[in-house]
Structure 1
Amino acid sequence: MKVGVCDTTFARVNMGAAAVDELRRHASVAIERYTVPGVKDLPVAAKILIEERGCDIVMALGMPGGKEKDRLCAHEASQGLIQCQLMTNHHIIEVFVHEDEAKDDKELAWLAEQRAREHAENTVKLILRPDALIKEAGTGQRQGFEDAGPARH
């Protein structure tokens, strides 16, 4: 099993390093890392990791800014990642942290690392232990901040 991790230089936190560290903590898998400039470069990076570097699944990590144009770029990148999944029949776990999700740099750094780590754990579950995800269905899981929990009747 080989996991691709693509991240960006635009991010203000080394989310790729956190993801790689967490992947190594939870599974013995080969890891291929590919760093690109920004979030709109992630779709082709993910496609290269799958088609040319033999990855079975990819994590795409990015940190769009907090302005409206950044949200638009993130949306475009998300659309590209979805298209890449459909073209390759491989999961690409999108891990974006928008700068305006946090109140300050300390919280932003914590959130980026936490979200990267929790999605790395989900990546391992998806490829090696899918039954673990079935058990979590409908439980309101959130990556980064506190889980929402299930809705009650």
Structure 2
Amino acid sequence: MAKVGIADTTFARYDMGKAAIDEIKRNSSVKIERYTVPGIKDLPVACKKLIDERHCDIVMALGMPGSKPVDKTCAHEASMGIIICQLMTNKHIIEVFVHEDEAPDGRELAALMDKRAREHALNVVRLLFDQRSLERQAGTGQRQGYEDVGPARI
């Protein structure tokens, strides 16, 4: 049985891990391992532990960087750590970040966080069980959390 890791943070203002787990369970039969850390810069280690110690086949890294310039820097550093972890383990880690300034208020932010987590959870299921479905979507302008923009045409 495939195993999916969910790495999330207490800093986020919405429980994206719960939304991702719900969506994965609705669309597959996999074992789920969750590892919650304080903030986004802790996510790379959480992801590596999920892969190395809990033997996950794929991991989602869910976090909410704040809106200040230092938060953007921290998000970049966390992303770099996640990329390095992918290269070290040869496993996909689907990064799902929603910046606090992507929505004007808490309600819209929560809706965006829920939608992005769920849409990326479906990508996890596709990567595990139907990777060719992603090939069929190549170049179609998919946007997780927002309306798709569609392909550019020549």
Task: Describe the superposition over 1:95-152 as per-residue Cα deviations: whole angstroms up to 9, x where unpaired.
Answer: 0000000011111000000000000000000111101101100000000011111001
Pairwise CA distance, 1:27: 0.5
Distance 2:42 2:105 in 1: 26
Distance 1:74 1:128 in 2: 29
TM-score, normalised via structure 2 length: 0.99
Q: Which residue of 1 aligns with 2:73?
A: 72
Distance 1:2 1:68 in 2: 36
Distance 1:30 1:55 in 2: 9
Distance 1:66 1:129 in 2: 36
Distance 1:96 1:48 in 2: 19
Pairwise CA distance, 1:26: 0.7
Which residue identity is paired with 2:93?
A: I
Task: Describe the superposition over 1:10-52 as per-residue Cα deviations: whole angstroms up to 9, x where unpaired.
Answer: 0000000000000001100000000000000000000000000
Distance 2:31 2:21 in 1: 10
Identity percentage of aligned residues: 69
Indicate the RMSD between aligned Cα atoms, in angstroms: 0.4
Distance 2:75 2:87 in 1: 18
Distance 1:145 1:105 in 2: 16
Ranges in structure 1 where 5+ consecutive residues have no aligned partner = none
SS at match of 1:93: strand
Q: Which residue of 1 aligns with 2:11?
A: 10
Q: Which residue of 1 aligns with 2:32?
A: 31
SS at match of 1:55: coil
Distance 1:92 1:147 in 2: 22
Q: Which residue of 2 aligns with 1:86?
A: 87
Ranges in structure 2 where 5+ consecutive residues have no aligned partner = none
Q: Which residue of 2 aligns with 1:125?
A: 126
The alignment covers a number of residue pairs equal to: 153
- Alignment of 1:109 onto 2:107: no
Which residue identity is paired with 1:18?
A: A
Q: Which residue of 2 aligns with 1:59?
A: 60
SS at match of 1:33: strand
Distance 2:140 2:67 in 1: 29
